[in-house]
Amino acid sequence: MVALVAIVAVLLIVISAVQTLKIAELWAINKGKVIYEVTKKQNKTQALLMLVFLVAYFAFFAWQVWKWGDLMLPVSASEHGVITDRLLNITYAFIIPVFVITHIFLFWFAYKYAYNSNRKAVFFSHSNKLELIWTIIPSIALTVLILFGLSSWNEIMTPVDSEKEHVLIEVQAQQFSWNARYAGTDGKLGRAGVEFIEGVNAMGVDIKDENSKDDKIVRGEIHLPVGVPVQFVFRSIDVIHSAYMPHFRAQMNCVPGVKTQFNFVPTITTEDMKKITNNEDFNYILLCNKICGAAHYNMQMDIIVESKEDYEKWLAEQKQFAEN
């Protein structure tokens, strides 16, 4: 906290100094005075400072990686998350070298080609060779990334086959909490909508729909069986929210009046992830990743990943909608 206050104080001092210099410059211009004329020595100094900034810039970049690198997310806890992380690493492999090379060129050229009264800049209006280079190379790189990403996207967006073993969960977003509903033994979710919200029926489940009677509504946390596909269905009853499960590399907008979906297969139980992260307090969480109002920060729900046996035992303890 002290460091943050110090940084803010330094920034305010710098801003104040810059504004003072601007006022002095405007005053001098108004009086018809010449502020200064850039000398050859000053020009050379500025060019050298460009190289100093280049070194400092990359040193700061390396320090951030060293300082904050361990705060990145742990290993992915879903099957498709592994692919997502691989795509991210491939993206890094493309952009980090480009980032480094272009900045080296930028500041080196600023030094090498600093103003010289004995040298005249060369001007040319067009180069087909350069146009081809900076068009074709980025296009190839983007094509690889997009095709890789689309294949993963199609996999998680294609609904799980109803004949295949899976868990069907509806997640409802509202300011500022989550509600969840599991399909019952019939494997189907009953109809629901804002028009059915009344009293304790916060999810707006249609009590007249036969498929609703064995649904199970849970609050506070959701449970998932490890190694079993989970089909999520999302909706919102007020504003746009975004269901974000960072450890599973999954996110989907929750839109009023529209159902959205995705699926994934959990691969690491909560207990195993506690060992991986060496954190006994670790828990998977469902967050809202869309600023949805004043208490947006508080909109989260715990996710428990456990063995199939433990999951079935927990689910059996939950009341059916008809019993509420």
Q: What distance in Å separates the CA atoms of residue 253 and residue 259, rounded to the nearest whole number?
A: 9
Identity of the residue numbered 168: L
Q: What is the pLDDT of residues 130-181, one digit of tens each?
A: 888 888 988 888 888 888 888 888 878 888 887 888 999 999 999 889 999 9
Distance CA 37, CA 125 (A): 31
Domain 167-323 sits in CATH 2.60.40.420: yes
Tell me the C-alpha distance between 236 and 172, whole Å: 6
Give the separation between CA 151 and CA 149, rounded to whole angstroms: 6
Q: Pick the residue with more confidence: 191 or 171? A: 171
Sign of the four-CA dihedral 156, 162, 167, 173: positive
Specify the 3-state DSSP secondary structure of 237. coil
H/E segment holding residue 121: none
Residue type, 185: T
> What's the confidence (pLDDT) of residue 322?
63
The pLDDT confidence band at residue 266, using thresholds 50, 70 and 90, is very high
Q: Where are the domains of the chain?
A: 38-115+127-158, 167-323
In sequence order, what are the beta bridge partners of 173? Answer: 178, 236
Q: Read off the pTM.
A: 0.74
pLDDT, average across residues 305-324: 85
- Give residue-wise pLDDT tens across range 6-58: 677 778 888 887 788 777 777 766 666 555 566 777 788 888 998 999 999 99
Determine if the peptide bond prior to 105 is cis (ω within 30°).
Answer: no
